């Protein structure tokens, strides 16, 4: 049987395009909601001694990579293994990482750093995924925030920005600092 009516073909193609468009819109909305759900709502001081912070992202933040894509890329570059899921023991949050290096020391500080108002930064309000995991031993009396290890990956490229290790004896304890909600 042949379809001779161009309106039927055009209508069928139109319905197919509409169906694909609806799926794309639903996927975009789901992705945006997932990003909002994982975004920080308070600023976390990662290292008080250098004023390294992880702050809430703007409500319009739209990372180029998903948390799994960034984590998988980092794992493959670090150890060559393929990752298909972020471990259940790892918490992922989206935020703005600021990682000061110190006062601007001239040409030596300028290589790969951001210079702003007399300070050198490795990262300055950089949109990043923060992957945290606890190293508290069962029954530990240490506050949970003082047992977190962090890995920060650029949300656009998946490149590592910083990693912290909070040993049981503990240096660099992250502290939560209340801030206004993003927006």
Output the six-digit token pair for 180: 């206004």
56-90 pLDDT per residue, tens: 999 999 999 999 999 999 988 877 677 888 989 89
Residue 60 CB coordination number (10 Å): 8
Burial label for 98, CB within 10 Å (0-12, 13-18, 19+), is buried
Q: Are 63 and 90 in contact (CB under 8 A)?
A: no
User: Which of 23-37, 90-104, 141-155 bottoms out in mean pLDDT, i.e. has the lowest?
Assistant: 23-37
Q: What is the mean pLDDT of residues 101-113?
A: 84
Q: What's residue 106's pLDDT?
A: 83
Output the six-digit token pair for 23: 């799926």
pLDDT band at 20 (very low <50, low <70, confident <90, very high): low
| Between 100 and 181, residue with greater pLDDT | 100
| Between 112 and 92, residue with greater pLDDT | 92
Q: What's residue 17's pLDDT?
A: 57
Q: Is the pLDDT of residue 5 over 80?
A: no
pLDDT band at 136 (very low <50, low <70, confident <90, very high): confident
C-alpha–C-alpha distance, residues 158 and 119, integer Å: 25
pLDDT band at 112 (very low <50, low <70, confident <90, very high): confident
151-175 pLDDT per residue, tens: 999 999 999 999 987 755 444 444 4
Q: Are 124 and 98 in contact (CB under 8 A)?
A: yes
0.85 exceeded by pTM? no
C-alpha–C-alpha distance, residues 90 and 179, integer Å: 24
């Amino acid at each position: 049987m042949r379809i001779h009516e161009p309106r039927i073909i055009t209508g069928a193609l139109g319905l197919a395009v509409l169906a694909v468009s609806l799926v794309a819109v639903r996927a975009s909305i789901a992705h945006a909601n997932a990003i909002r759900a994982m975004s920080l709502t308070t600023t976390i001081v990662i290292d008080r001694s250098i004023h390294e912070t992880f702050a809430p992202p703007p409500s319009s933040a739209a990372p180029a990579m998903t948390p799994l894509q960034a984590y998988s890329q980092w794992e493959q570059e670090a150890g060559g293994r393929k990752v298909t899921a972020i471990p259940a023991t790892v918490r992922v949050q989206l935020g703005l990482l600021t990682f000061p290096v110190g006062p601007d020391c001239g040409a030596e500080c300028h290589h790969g750093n951001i210079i702003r108002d007399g300070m050198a930064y490795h990262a300055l309000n950089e949109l990043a995924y923060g992957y945290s995991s606890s190293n508290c031993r069962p029954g530990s009396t240490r506050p949970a925030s003082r047992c977190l290890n962090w890995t920060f990956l650029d949300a656009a490229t998946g490149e590592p920005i910083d990693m912290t290790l909070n040993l049981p004896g503990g240096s660099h304890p992250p502290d939560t600092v209340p801030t206004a909600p993003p927006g």
